[in-house]
A and B are shown apart, each in its own frame.
Chain A
Amino acid sequence: MNLRPEPLAFELSSPGRVGVALPKCDVPASPVPAGLLRPELRLPEMDELTVVRHFTRLSQKNFSIDTEFYPLGSCTMKYNPKANEVAASQPGWKGAHPLVADERNQGSIELIWRLQESLKAIGGFSAVSLQPAAGAHGELSGVFMIRAYHLARGNPGRVKMLIPDSAHGTNPASCTMAGLTTVTIPSDADGGVDLDALRAACDETVAGIMITNPSTLGLFERNIEKIAKMVHDAGGLVYGDGANMNALTGVLRPADVGIDVMHFNLHKTFSTPHGGGGPGVGMVGAAPVLAEYLPGPIATRKDGTYAMAMPSKSIGRMKAFYGNFGVLVRAYTYIRMLGEEGMRRLAESAVLNANYLKARLEKAYPIKYPRRCMHEFVAMGNFAEGVHTLDIAKRMIDYGYHPPTIYFPLIVPEALMVEPTETESKETLDAFVDVMLKIAEEARTDPELLRGAPHATPVGRLDEVAAARCPVLCYRG
């Protein structure tokens, strides 16, 4: 890590510097009406080398998959193959415009169509839309589809969405944006959906259920078929949150167990880069009952020619144009390189790696639901007097590991959610275990060491409370 303070661009600025030379204007100038001109533009002024050093040094203040093991649960921080980037940087993609006629964008549409077909096969869906730009955007699409389905059938009173208490916060937030109310379903002693509570909530106002499987506890919901039947019998539909699909490729097609609509995060399972927060893709797949409600347009093929078309009862567009195409190219490249055999090997290895870590760590880090896990597991960090999960997480940084997801899911106190992914070797996992056991020991013998961590980063723990109380959100020169 680069520990030296890096000035803000504004502080590196010097009047008159330019970082890019532009062509001289080769046409006569046209005057801009004086009243329209902006009086000043306070952007930094830097030469190219200063810009290059600035961003290179900033990059060195990040942990990343390319530099460190990143076992961030629920986020599936797997390696992003470099071939994905080469594939996405073809001039034929970068210079393609969404409003050129379909017959002159056949390459793009064929790629979308092929990716749609691959994801249909992996999920068991009848149709998919690649338009949504992120997992939460896919969720929102799915909830809109469920709402539109009930309205089309003359059931405006179906406004209640059932959501297990272990769910991601985006699930209830998406429902609010679709005008639905949410009912929280508690978990049972095993970490699964409490079936009695679910039965009691299933009435004529139910729109559906949003279920994450494997759950955010990293556990497979063994009653998934019973749950789907219960909701279907009550007239509702089943939304699958595919955040954790990395455990299931080639293992289970979600549509086979009653999922009606589901999103996959292509930036998780299908190895497109997270990019410090995006862009992602929240592909939505649907069973026949909801296929015509998908957002669009989606790619179609007829007589060897490809076209973009709107499904007949579509909820409409979720964004302008056709989705995050550059991300789709990366996901397609990855699926093409893995193929049928690789898809199953992916999930097997992800689950094996997680169970291996769990087996080696569970004596030191207690686990609330000690069942066999899938691709991730949730431990607890409150086993030593005066030491919290946050302290353990920060201490991991000193040893060169990105901390796991912490304090989520909310139903596990002091949660530490560990997801190794399939792209890590046994050697990496073993080294990680050694460090985690050492930290557990330190937690008992030298808690102050943990509470003061991290010790070797560009900044120490930041005062987030003060930052929110008096927010400074822009440079004030």
Chain B
Amino acid sequence: MPFIPNTDADREAMLAAIGVKSVEELFSDIPAAHRFPKLGLPAGLSELEALREIEALAAKNLSASNSAWFLGAGAYNHFIPAAVPALASRGEFLSAYTPYQPEVSQGTLQAIFEYQSMAAELFGVDTVNASHYDGATALAEAVLMALNHGGSSRPRVMLPAAMHPEYKEVLRTYLAAFSVELDEYADEPAAAAKRVDARTACLVASYPDFEGRVHDLSGVADPVHAAGAVLVVNADPIMLGLLRSPGSMGADIVTAEGQALGNAMNYGGPFLGMMGATQKLVRKMPGRIVGQAADHDGRRGFVLTLSAREQHIRREKAVSNICSNQGLVMLQSTIYLEALGKSGLRAVAELCWNKAHYAAKAIAAVPGYAVAGGTFFKEFVVKTPVPASEIVDRLERRGVVPGLALSRYYPARTHELLVCVTEMNTKAQIELLAQSLKEASV
């Protein structure tokens, strides 16, 4: 077998060295009644046959690779420069493991350190960890961190009503064991912040929120901090290439879904959970963290550090059970940020901003449609003259993916469509979308 090299002759020689007669003898500890069951799996396929089968399956999906794509809502269609997959797929990155032996893992460790440095700059915080499973679990762990920081006298968590519904679901799963009060606010974060009290562990703000609205966070941190609570901001990392960082507005913990930074949508995973915090919270932060170190000759190197927080040292007293990171996804984002650099990330954010605003005007001009006002980034809600789910259904069959019918998450919001526009959408595609919406309204 191509992935199991030893032949029957090799096996015989090895069995003789061990001093047993058969391979079966090695399994004598397994309960005899259950040993070597028939699994009922199909017979193995050659590489050619397996790939042919998988290519046929993949071709059954509707894909952004051959559609005019305006759907985001947590998974985004952005350009991925060729250097990103070319470098991240090198076997030395792909097939290495957790850098427990720093002398032979400096490649992975330095890449994480560079990621931490760039993400901390984007977020405007002191420290970023080596990543979480996705944006939703990063946010859930941030809330757990705030609850641990606040102690048992602060069981209240204030959440924006317009936060991604699946993030809220994940938060509920993670918090199920604890008596925590999840208190949703529908007004501006600055107004909600005035209701933060001595029982509140944290106020969470979305930047932008699930419907694309960019709320001004400049007046939020002061009342939150005055009440002794923590400000958690969940941000879009592409937007942070253009707009003020959460840290500069007083956020204590910042989380983000980093998929947009150089990773494909991939039917929702693997994604990149980003988390950063201010200096005073760093020893309460979950996840791996890489730090700079020196060897006996004074040479600079990088190591996993502050491990006294983690499960392999602290076991049941650890700040989290997490023991991996999204290594390759994080690496892709690191390469993406370095390839685009200072001007490139800002240019992507500006393209998103300009094209989304152009699309919003074009759609608002279509009879029967209306676009929500206010400041937005990349996404906006469109009021539709016929049920949005019907529009989606009709347009997707024609290769135009117009966005998310909000009724998927909010059954009563039948006539609302969440449209996402990125640098991937050309002017011609935007005009096609407007024209298609017009045709779908009759």
The answer to whether A276 and B99 have CB atoms under 8 Å apart is yes
A327 CB, nearest partner CB in chain B, Å: 6
CB of A182 within 8 A of CB of B94, answer no
B328–A1 CB distance below 8 A:
no
- Report the bound CA distance from A188 to B172 in whole Å: 40
Q: CB within 8 A of A92: which of B14, B61, B133, B344?
A: B61
7 A-B pairs with CB atoms under 8 Å apart are: A19-B81, A168-B323, A172-B315, A176-B317, A279-B327, A325-B269, A326-B269
Q: Is B77 a contact of A95 with CB atoms below 8 Å?
A: yes
| B67 to A, closest residue via Cβ | A95
Find out whether the CB atom of A339 lies under 8 angstroms from the CB atom of B45: yes
Closest chain B residue, CB of each to CB of A13: B341
B170 and A107 form a contact (CB under 8 A): no
Interface string of A265-292 (1 = CB under 8 A from B): 0000001011111111000000000000
B265 within 8 A of A: yes
Contact of B351 among A23, A56, A72, A252 (CB under 8 A): A23
Ranked nearest first, the 10 interchain pairs of A and B with the lowest CB-CB distance are A321-B268, A339-B44, A179-B177, A66-B91, A92-B58, A98-B268, A95-B63, A107-B60, A275-B328, A277-B327
Q: Given A63-B104, A315-B173, A467-B303, does the pair A351, B354 have CB atoms closer than 8 Å?
A: no
Q: Provide the residues of chain B in CB contact with A182, threshold 8 Å.
A: 316
Nearest CB of chain A from residue B333's CB, rounded to whole Å: 12
| Complex Cα spacing A224 to B29, Å | 10
Among B218, B291, B344, B375, max chain A CB count under 10 A is at B291
Cβ–Cβ contact A10 & B117, under 8 A: yes
A466 pairs with B338, CB closer than 8 A: no
Taking A94-B63, A252-B34 as contacts, is the C-beta distance between A276 and B355 under 8 angstroms?
no
Measured between beta carbons, the chain B residues less than 8 angstroms from A33 are: 375
Chain B interface residue count, CB cutoff 8 Å, equals 207
Is the beta-carbon distance between B60 and A79 smaller than 8 angstroms? no
Q: How far, in Å, is A207 (CB) from chain B's closest CB?
A: 11
Report Cα–Cα, A5/B218, bound state, in Å.
Answer: 42
Other-chain residue from A35, A134, A251, A340 in contact with B323 (beta carbon distance below 8 A): A134
What chain B residues lie within 8 Å of A136 (beta carbons)?
311, 321-324
> A26, A59, A105, A135 — which one has the most chain B CB atoms within 10 A of its CB?
A59
- Please tell me which stretch of A193-201, A352-360, A439-447 contacts chain B, meaning at least 4 of its Cβ atoms lie within 8 angstroms of it: A352-360
- Chain B residues 92-118 with CB under 8 Å of chain A are 92-108, 110-111, 113-114, 116-118
Q: Mark A460-473, 1 if CB is under 8 A from B, else 0.
A: 11111011100111
The reply to whether the CB of A158 lies closer than 8 angstroms to some CB of chain B is no
| C-alpha spacing A319/B354, complex, angstroms | 32
What is the size, in residues, of chain A's interface with B at 8 Å between Cβ atoms?
A: 198
Smallest CB gap from A30: residue in B: B357
CB nearest neighbor in A for B403: A99
A52 with B87: in contact, given A320-B74, A461-B296, A468-B306 (CB under 8 Å)? yes
Select B19's contact among A48, A147, A172, A359, beta carbons within 8 Å.
Answer: A359
- Asked whether any CB of chain A lies closer than 8 Å to the CB of B37, the reply is yes
Q: How far is the CA of A266 from the CA of B40 in the complex (A)?
A: 19
Q: How far is the CA of A29 from the CA of B349 in the complex (A)?
A: 12
> Is the pair B98, A274 in contact by a Cβ cutoff of 8 Å?
yes
Could you tell me if B244 and A38 are in contact, using CB atoms closer than 8 angstroms?
yes
Q: Does B152 make an interface contact (CB < 8 A)?
A: no
The verdict on A9 contacting chain B, using a C-beta distance below 8 Å, is: yes
CA distance A219 to B19 in the complex (A): 18
User: Least Cβ distance of A21 to chain B in Å?
Assistant: 9
Return B312 CB to nearest CB of chain A, in Å.
4
In the bound complex, do residue B358 and residue A27 qualify as a contact, i.e. CB atoms below 8 Å apart?
Answer: yes
CA of A172 to CA of B317, assembled, Å: 8
Give Cα distance in the complex from A29 to B355, angstroms. 8
With A94-B265, A467-B305 as contacts: A345 and B1 at CB distance below 8 Å: yes
B14, B74, B91, B303: which contacts A321 (Cβ < 8 A)? B74
Check A67 for interface membership: any CB of B closer than 8 A: yes
Q: Are B295 and A463 in contact (CB under 8 A)?
A: yes
Given contacts A277-B130, A372-B26, A38 and B243 within 8 Å (CB-CB): yes
The answer to whether A424 has its CB under 8 Å from any CB of chain B is: yes
B240–A38 CB distance below 8 A: yes
B221 within 8 A of A: no
Instruction: Add 14 more A-B contacts to A81-B3, A92-B57, A277-B130 (CB < 8 A).
Output: A13-B341, A61-B107, A62-B107, A64-B95, A65-B95, A65-B96, A124-B37, A144-B176, A251-B27, A279-B326, A317-B170, A320-B268, A340-B44, A460-B296
Given A41-B345, A341-B43, A466-B294 in contact, is the A5-B299 Cβ separation under 8 Å? yes
Residues of A within 8 A of B427 (CB): 26-27
In the bound complex, residues from chain B placing their C-beta under 8 Å from that of A275 are 93-94, 96, 327-329, 331
Q: Which residue of B is nearest A68, CB measured?
A: B104
Within 8 A of B (CB), among A310-326: 315-326
- Selected from B74, B294, B301, the residue in CB contact (under 8 A) with A458 is B301
Whether A383 is near chain B, meaning CB under 8 Å from some CB there, is no
| Contact between A459 and B301, CB atoms less than 8 A apart | yes
Complex CA–CA separation, A163 to B100 (angstroms): 25
Residue of A at shortest CB range from B36? A251
Say which residue of B57, B122, B294 sits within 8 Å of A463 (CB atoms).
B294
Q: Kindly state whether residue B241 has any CB partner on chain A within 8 Å.
A: yes
Nearest A residue (CB) for B178: A179
Complex CA–CA separation, A348 to B5 (angstroms): 12
Chain A residues near B110 (CB-CB < 8 A): 6, 8, 58, 61
Q: Is A70 an interface residue (CB 8 A)?
A: yes
Nearest B residue (CB) for A405: B100
Query: Within 8 Å CB of B93, what residues of A?
Result: 59, 62, 64, 275-276
Judging by beta carbons under 8 Å apart, are A38 and B242 in contact? yes
